[in-house]
Chains A and B, each alone.
Chain A
Amino acid sequence: MSTTIKVARYHLIFPILLVAAPWALLAFTFAVNLIVTVIQGGPNPTKALAAIFAVMVFAGGLTMTRSLPFALTLGATRRSYYLGTVGLVIALAAFYGLAIAGLQALERATGGWGVSMYYFQPHYFLTGAWYLTWLSSFVGLVLLFVYGTWFGLLYQRWDTIGLFVFVFGQVILALTGVFIISGDHAWHSVGHFFTTLTAAGLTGALAALLCAGGFALIRGVTV
């Protein structure tokens, strides 16, 4: 059994980060929103699905800080740890994406669970056919996980200062981006962008790029 597979199995021994947390949070926010929708009545296009995506960022960070040292001690190479972890997440994400697409289909079929709550179809996002939802979710989950690994690895290598520089840099980038988009009143096209196939392809490419970066970062980690 290759070390990469061993790493995947390692994460599954007690998969709190990669399985329990995302779905528990999804279930929780779903339930809360359902209750709120029932009480307030009327259409509720909540964006709470973002929760599961946010958790992936945390999971990425934590697998690279909390779970990494013991795996390295047990003899995993840094390479196989990164690949094994991301590989597992890719497999899980494919599965989760399908689940989201399935739940979305169910939601549409039941008219928003009978109370017009559109949890699995946030405004402007995931508006396309089921397979596009699947693809977008899949790619989005992977991207955010890999993004999260950057936080973890930068912290491992350069401590709080590294994190600070990383966040600071992104804030600058984000502000610039928001400036441009708001200037063009282009939020609508942004959402549309993220649903089309080419967008999924580009997001996937971004994920791959970040993955390569993470792979390079982990080489220098010491525990």
Chain B
Amino acid sequence: MRYNAGPANRAPDARPDIDDAFYEAFLGPSMAFTCAYFPHEEAELEEAQQAQFHLIGRKLRLKPYQTLLDIGCGWGSFVVYACKHFGVTAHGVTTSPRQAEYAQAWLKREGLEDQAFIECRDYRELVGELQFDRVSALGVMEHLGLRNLAQFFTSSHRLLKDNGLMLTQGISRDRRSAMDIGSDDLSRQILQGMEPPSLTATITQLEDNGFELQDVENLRRHYAQTCARWVAGLQDHRSQCLQHVDEATYRSWLLNLGMSSVYFEEGALSFHQLLSSKRTNGSAPLPLTREDIHG
């Protein structure tokens, strides 16, 4: 299935017919269905998901009262984190009504209703209506379809203020495999309709649509670890999962996430995080060095 109306959620596998409690069982309290960042090999998944959100916030140089748009916000995990830890005013969009409902309830529990807003809406509908200091799209690009990549960056460009920053992260494949979608077992079995672009294609589209690339980081090994932890989560919470899905569905998830971990580890799949600003005559809203990110 390809997204024609924009990304629905963090991953294509977050199927609308499956109860959120199934995802809670293996994603943990962060409900983050994207790559975690492991500060050390033994880090717990939850710690690594928090570290990833912290890294994204630092890369975006989030500051209190800045406005943030999170495209494909899923269950709202990054919106909640950014509001609580960086003091931003956030707007999240997802095309999944179920995720939007979950996220809205989460905001309410956290007392963030005045600071954040999450709605079930196509991000493109915001174009011409709103502009933001920061835009994030975590795990979105691989679900867009290669043909929609240009439109995604055109829309993002219009949604970002002139001195803004955008961070996108997603699965990518090497240039030759990315152009030959559906031709191999990996495409047919694991990606199942996703079209991860090559890093080259993403950068080309960024540049063609008025962005200047500021930073790229390959987090492939982190995603291998993340998928392995999800597998462990599924195994540890098997009986809980089976209250929401049948055995065959449970095992297909186990296999899919396990194979994804292997493919990330082997390098057949990659995962890149890209930080971009609008191409302007002036300098980008960034310091001279990266030292502040990990400092």
Partners in one complex: no
